[in-house]
Structure 1
Amino acid sequence: MNKQNKGYHLEKVQKELQFSGSFYARKGNEILQGSNGFRNYAEKINNQLNTRFSIASGSKLFTSIAICKLVETGEISFTSRLKDCLDMDFPHVNDQVTIHHLLTHTSGFPDYFDEDTIDDYEALWHSRPMYRIRSPKDFLPLFQHEPMQATVNSSFQYNNSGYILLGLIVEQIATCSFSTYIEEQIFHKAGMKKSGYFELDRLPENTALGYIEEPVGTWKTNIYSLPAKGGPDGGAYVTAEDMVLCWQALTDYQLLSKEMTQLFLKPREVVSAEQNIYYGYCGYMELDDQNEIVKYIQMGYDPGVNFRAVHYPTTKASVVVCSNTSEGAYELLKEIENMLT
């Protein structure tokens, strides 16, 4: 299938999926890109290639890179204990929790959004004013005084609170806001000119509103379903192309040294033995039967947000799909993957 036919096919797939968002894929000199749907439903303003989308937990990649940068400077280590890194009181937390545990979701720390017991992120804000959640410290009342959820160094258990703590460590060491550090030390260096941590009530131009489908078939925006500003566990805004630039900068050693990048990309925790899915400081990855990395996997989901991305280390192919609704990104990603690989 030539590039023109691929383009026609992907336009058809987007229509069939009723996909709302944009995608960008690159393998060598081949680029596939496109967009569909509206970034503003009421005004019928189309999504475009340069539209910015929230990527929810896809942002954890940036938090991990930031921590690795601070390890490189010697200000912390992966074995540094949480209690030695933050001037804050966590009365019920095990003293042996380390940076490594937080990065790999093995800390047993109380998670403010435990997906095993809560299935609706929007429900968190029914009794809490989401408009006051604008910095990492604002999340603390959700979990600071809760008991441990599991033992330290237990099996992988996805944990958002751990990444809030990592962001607080970044702020304490860097003496600036978490979002400022990420924007200056990662986005600017990777050439991600359109990316940032934006507030829902102060969104810049070309930014998609997130939409949630209601039971009766109508749509509402997600402005009351998410924190007013994303934090270390998720909520950055990017363009699809910017995320490809991030992976390019990372694997070209523009963000971390070669040695640190290799540590960053290394598999560490088993997530699913049956599917050969592992987790490392960089996030999820799929291994083959010879324990070689097939691809790195990013995903993010919030009400009105759906983000999927993969990077293949052997071919350096990257595929990024951003959506401002809750469905469709994964299905479109698989279609593009099949074309490129």
Structure 2
Amino acid sequence: MIAIHAAGRALWALALAAALCSPPAAAAEPPAAPAAVSNSVLEEQATHFWQTVSAPADQRPALLERHFSPGLRERNSDADLLDTLAMLAEALAPELASLPKPAVIQGEQGPTGELQYTLPTGRRLSLTLAVTAGDAPRIDRFGLRPLPPEVAAVKPAQLPAAIAERVKAEFEAGRFSGAVLVARGDELIYADAVGLADRQSGRANTLDTPINLGSINKMFTGIAIAQLQAAGKLDWQDTVGEHLPDFPNPTIRDHVTIHQLLTHTAGVGDYFNPAHDARRHALDSQQEFLDLFVAEPLRFKPGEGLEYSNGGPVILGLIIEAISGRDYYQYIRDHLYRPAGMTHADHYRSDDRAAGFAIGYLKDDAGAWQDNADVLSLRGSAAGGGYASARDLFAFSRALASGRLLTREQLEVLWTPHQQTGPMAYGYLSSIGGSPERRWVGHNGGAPGISAEFIHYPDDGLVMIVLANQDRGAEGLREWLQAQVEASLFESEDP
């Protein structure tokens, strides 16, 4: 069984939902299903699915038992299923509150049917359900995947205006505040910022405003490790103990490799736990983040599972410090931000308001915007929480293209798929998507009050950047942006 956990990361949540749709290859066939599932039964079971997803956590176990088949629960533990449903609830909130009637139903053709939804934000989802036989049907398998947004291709000359119109609409609807940048090579196609970086003072967002990147920082940690590997200072298959001989967890020290930490296959857990909540306002180093989780047992034997981990990059950050003799934050400044020309990027402390970064905002239970100061760590880690502006990430994309950080051959090692997670793959702390002809690499990030998306097309010179200083502001806009830009630029070029 492969488990993937990533609080707030919609793509990982959808990937796991897709994985749970099918039984393991070696498993026995599930009980015989009816020859066809009617549209009415399909809609009814879909309603039960979404009720279970959107229910309070303490009510989900009873709903799981009521609406999901014993076969599904035998193939996947209740704990894994509940984790998946919780991630989906977080990833899709608050859109679940006004879920529309399915726009397309493909049922009555067998035991499996498909329903397609267009969410209020324009995002589209496909829900596939297999239903058991009998008078009391239950969900026997399920799959959930994003669908490309519906866009009308416009001519390349009209693309900037189309993007501007969409960004304005998202801002006026209260769904976006931040910066958007699209470029090809050195040419900016669209670049603008909307909303306020500080609602109290009225300071506006700009293209130079640093915004919290969330997990996009994982890409930077992966590049730092690759730089040390290229310099002959480490090997991908080195164990943690070869560079941190006094590491306090002997299982991690002796059995976990750098490769596994880079691919989320080490079994290392997360630092978002009660200890983090109690100490977050004092967290200021990789060692302090490590102390939050290092005593916990591994989630699975190294190399035998897949679980999105924030703990793994922290260990990589400590390896970077041990090899380089520098503090992690200083290494990233010296070997990534400065060579790339990222003049506003850093792991700013949350109390350093003179740094000029955007404050993140989320809505409270009453629907009023509040800042995210109470939920942030004092400083981010090697797993995420650093800051950069839209122009900084544009400079980063140009540095990738020019070879200033690593050669193309070295970057391709990072961009080699090691894990397939539904519609995308994962390399060395980098997501990989698209087709072989139109490949993209990148990462996204999210935390209370912020969301961020970075998509880089290494073979086309194209980059898309969406940074939001409010909850869930970037992902839906990025999905539309990517579909619109690809339709306008690539379709006009294809024969």
The normalised TM-score by structure 2 is 0.63
The residue aligned with 2:29 is: none
The alignment yields a C-alpha RMSD, in angstroms, of 1.9
Q: 2:457 aligns with which of 294, 297, 312?
A: 312
SS of the residue corresponding to residue 149 of structure 1 reads coil
Task: Name the larger-Rg structure.
Answer: 2
What are the Cα deviations for residues 89-139 of structure 1, in whole angstroms up to 9, with x where unaligned? 2144372211000001001123333xxxxxxx7x6644x221210010001
Question: What SS is found at the alignment partner of 1:204?
Answer: helix
Letter in 1 for 2:346: G
Within 2, Cα distance between the matches of 1:48 and 1:303?
Answer: 21
Contact 1:92 1:146 in 2 (8 A): no
Q: Secondary structure at the match of 1:23?
A: strand
Residues 296-315 of structure 1, C-alpha deviations (whole Å, 9 max, x = no match): 13110111110112112332
Question: Contact 1:19/1:328 (CA < 8 Å) preserved in 2?
Answer: yes
Residue in 2 aligned with 1:270?
Answer: 420
> Cα distance 1:57–1:124, how it changes in 2: closer, same or farther (>3 A)?
farther
Counterpart amino acid of 1:44?
G
Please give the alpha-carbon distance, in whole angstroms, between the structure 2 residues aligned to 1:321 and 1:124.
32
2:248 aligned counterpart, secondary structure: coil
The 5 Å alignment of 1:116-195 reads 125-126=276-277, 128-195=278-345
Q: Which 10-residue stretch deviates more, 41-50 or 78-87? A: 41-50
**1:202–1:78 Cα change, 3 Å:** same
Partner of 2:184: 27
Whether 2:240 is the aligned partner of 1:102: answer: no
User: Aligned residues, how many?
Assistant: 327
Corresponding residue number in structure 1 for 2:468: 323
* 1:279 pairs with one of 412, 426, 429: 426
Q: Measured at CA, do residues 304 and 292 of structure 1 come closer, stay the same or move farther in structure 2, by a change above 3 Å?
A: same
1:179-209 per-residue CA deviation (whole Å, 9 max, x = no partner) reads 0000110000011111111001113343101
Contact 2:160 2:189 in 1 (8 A): no
Shift of 1:293: 5.9
Partner secondary structure for residue 251 of structure 1: helix
From the two aligned structures, give the one with the greater helix fraction: 2
Given residue 400 of structure 2, which amino acid in structure 1 is its aligned partner? L
Matched AA of 2:432? M
Residue aligned with 1:322, SS: strand
Partner Cα distance (1:124, 1:226) in 2: 14
Aligned residue number for residue 118 of structure 1: none
Moved more, 322-331 or 160-169: 322-331
The question of 1:90 aligning with 2:90 is answered no
Gapped runs of 5+ residues in structure 2? Answer: 1-153, 487-495
Q: How many percent of aligned residue pairs carry the same amino acid? A: 28
Determine which of 299, 316, 326 is the counterpart of 2:444: 299
Alignment gaps of 5+ in structure 1: 114-120
**TM-score for the superposition, normalised by structure 1:** 0.90
Which of 1 and 2 has higher RCO (CA within 8 Å, sep 6+)?
Answer: 1
Separation in structure 1 between the aligned mates of residue 250 and residue 483 of structure 2, nearest angstrom: 50
